[in-house]
Amino acid sequence: MFQPMPKDARVYVAGHAGLVGSAVVRRLRAAGYTDILTATRRELDLRDQGAVNVWFENNRPDYVFLVAGTVGGILANSTRPAEFIYDNLMIHGTVVEASHRTSVTKLLYLGSSCIYPRHATQPITEEQLLTGPLEPTNEWYAVAKIAGIKLCQAYRRQYGSDFISAMPTNLYGPNDNFDLASSHVLPALIRKFHDAKQSGGDAVEIWGTGSPMREFLHVDDLADACVFLMENYSDDSHINVGTGVDLSIRELAEKVRDIVHPSARLVFDTSKPDGTPRKVLDVSRLNDLGWSPSYDLDRGIRTTYQWFIEQQAKQSSLRGMSEA
Ligand code: GFB
């Protein structure tokens, strides 16, 4: 079933500035693709069907990586439900519709492991979609992400479009969001331990009980899997992307502490939500196709922390220049 994306294909990465989109662009460049199409938010509001149609007519992509969206961690998901459902529903709808109208060769849509029921059997197989109630802290986002899967299936069934869906586990890596109000746990922990070290503090606050279990995939592995799936997968069903290995939030916090600020103490704030108790994906379908990740979590945390430090240094030198 291997169908290579020709190296001269016009490839649109919707959401190129984000964690995932920037990794997909890096991966495509490294593989020799030169006609990579991107559009900033200012150039194109992906929630506007008219604007998206015009952009597709003018730019005529052959392949589309639909990795754009409004995303965030547990707090952002539970406090900004309208943005999470509206933005994502609209973005998925406009890009899928415009891809159909302009006869895009293939589209890959990226969902999230929060589509599965809160009490799904672990590890979570693809078949468990829509078999039980969702986790309340992110049900708005999850509903939009489920709608994205259904959009791809509907266009495939009605029009024969080659639109596929991949469901990644929790992601992290360079270009992640380190803002504590909206970030996911891994970048939040890097920032908190780093800030404590800088300020000479030793207590670092961890939200919740520390007992929830999560799986983490480096975004460069995800980008590699997305290109692999574009070339090797064409099916109605969505497919899980992850490592198949999880750990508790406490264990994750200890790992980050050991790398960033070994003498720090963990303090659990149990007034903050835990979210879903466990979320580890069954990745046997993807493994059977011949793909597996390359990063282990320790290397991933170390390299992400290195990236974070470099960004901090760049920002402070820019501040220095603007103050001079
Ligand atoms: O990564 P996270 O925000 O998202 O939180 P989810 C994972 C776990 O880490 C939760 C705990 O149990 C949090 O309470 N945690 C501990 C922290 N300290 C912190 C912290 O400082 N910041 C954050 N953010 N968490 C999201 C969904 O769920 O996962 C999205 O809300 C999406 O919809 C995403 O699916 C992948 O794994 O709980």
What pLDDT shows up at residue 72?
A: 97
What's the 123 CA to ligand 1 centre distance in angstroms? 19
Q: Residue 165: enclosing H or E segment and its boundaries? A: strand 163-168
How far apart, in whole angstroms, are the C-alpha atoms of residue 47 and residue 93? 8
Give 282-295 pLDDT, tens digit per residue: 999 999 999 999 99
What pLDDT shows up at residue 26?
A: 98
What's the 38 CA to ligand 1 centre distance in angstroms? 29
pLDDT band at 58 (very low <50, low <70, confident <90, very high): very high
Give 78-106 pLDDT, tens digit per residue: 999 999 999 999 999 999 999 999 999 99
Q: Does 146 sit in the ligand 1 pocket, CB within 6 Å?
A: no
Report which DSSP code applies to 281.
B
Cis omega (within 30 of 0) on the bond before 123?
yes
Structure tokens at 266: 């963990």
What pLDDT shows up at residue 65?
A: 99
**Is residue 141 among the annotated active site residues?**
yes
How far apart, in whole angstroms, are the C-alpha atoms of residue 87 and residue 83? 6
Per-residue pLDDT, averaged over 146-160, amounts to 98
Indicate whether 75 pLDDT > 90: yes
Q: Does 207 sit in the ligand 1 pocket, CB within 6 Å?
A: yes
What pLDDT shows up at residue 316?
A: 83
How far apart, in whole angstroms, are the C-alpha atoms of residue 267 and residue 271? 12
Give the closest residue (by CA) to ligand 1 atom 5: 185
What's the 246 CA to ligand 1 centre distance in angstroms? 14
* pTM of structure: 0.97
Per-residue pLDDT, averaged over 224-233, amounts to 98
Name the catalytic one among 12, 33, 63, 141: 141
Q: Does 28 sit in the ligand 1 pocket, CB within 6 Å?
A: no
Q: Return the residue matching tokens 């890959």.
A: 108
Q: Return the residue matching tokens 């899967």.
A: 149
Look at phi and psi of residue 304 and say left if phi exceeds 0, alpha if psi is from -120 to 50, else beta. alpha
Structure tokens at 258: 């050991």
